[in-house]
Every structure is written in C-alpha cells, then in structure tokens.
Amino acid sequence: MAASATPMGAEPVDGLSACGSFSGKVRHIKIASGYAADVFYGDFVKLVSTGTVEKDTGTATMTPVGIFMGCFYTDPNTSQPTFNQMWPTGTVASDAMAYVLDDPDAVFRMQADDSLAQTTLGNNIAVVQTAGSTTIGRSKNAVDASTAATTNTLPLRILEFMDGPDSEVGDAYTDVLLTYNWGMHQYRNATGV
C-alpha cells in the first residue's frame, strides 16, 4: 500500500490505555441542520460554540474532539432514517447526529504524503487536508511528511511505523500510527469551546 498514494484519513486501530477497544469510546454529537461541508469517515472534527460538531480543517494547528466515524439523520428527500459513512454538505435534518471517536488517547493509522525516515519516530506532524471520496464516504487526508519535527504546536505525534508486507519505514508513502499531541485534543485543552 505504501508504494502508492492511498490516503484514508485517520483510521482508528487502538488506544494508549489498556481500557478496552476504541469501539466503546464513540460518542453521539449533534450536527447542525444544513451544515455546509462534507465530512468523511476518518476526518477530524471539533466542537463549536453552538454545541455541535464540524469538520476540523486545520493543518499545522488543530483542536479536534475526535475522528468522524459516520452519522445518522432523517433523509429530507425520502423521510427515511439514514445511516451514512459521510455527512453530505447542506443536509437539512434536525435529528442529525455524528458518531465521533472522542478518546484523547486514541491511536490511529494514517498515510504520509511522502517518505518518513526512522528518525521521525516520536516527532510531531501536521495534516494534509484533501477532499474525501463521495463514492465510498472515506476521508483522503494524510500527514504532511515535510513537517515532522519536535515543534510542540503540531497536532499529531508519530508513535510507530506500519512495518509489514505493504508498508515499511522509508516507503514513498509511509504508513504510521499516531495519537494526538498533548493539549491539542479539545478534552485536554485548557480553553473551552
């Protein structure tokens, strides 16, 4: 996989704590009816002052509350309950609810937009924001290999490289395991929403 660019956004795989899987750490948070942005499975989202969740479009600075895992709403065209892997921009639904993995200790996999060397392990890194796939509802965000550094304001931390048959350190598009840099997640940020 890492020999070609196949970014998939943030794909949860584990947690830093030994308190079970991430599946029990998904919270339902409202989406404002008519919210005008596509949000894809694997996108970072943030709480906003209206008490709803929106896509976090930051790159070198972010304040995510978690990872978007899908949503529920009543389809305004069919009046049917709808579960979707993405939030279609502008959907008018008063019952819209996002499923958000909001664990600040979540570990997730992402692909870098270039090669990452072993020396970047433990570094912080920025995000590359790219339009997701409306066909499959998946994010196409990646991490920005050129930003890997000790800079304490970068939003993500490199924990491990995905070494295996499809990926290894130094591949053209290195796959990595990440977590949030301390204080960047909204639950760990001293400033409220």
| Domain-ending residue, one of 34, 67, 101 | 101
81 and 150: one domain?
no
Residue 142 placed within a domain: yes
Task: Give all strands (DSSP E) within 16-141, no chain letters.
Answer: 26-30, 39-40, 44-47, 53-55, 66-74, 81-84, 86-87, 97-101, 106-111, 124-128
What is the domain extent for residue 92?
Answer: 18-101
Residue 86 placed within a domain: yes
Judge whether 140 and 51 are in contact, CB under 8 Å.
no
Q: Give strand pairing partners of 50.
A: none
Q: pTM of whole model > 0.85?
A: yes
Residue 70 placed within a domain: yes
CA distance 172 to 23: 31
CA distance 26 to 138: 18
pLDDT tens for each residue of 159-173: 999 877 777 787 788
Residue 75 placed within a domain: yes
pLDDT tens for each residue of 43-68: 999 999 999 999 999 999 999 999 99
Percentage of the chain lying above the pLDDT 70 cut? 94
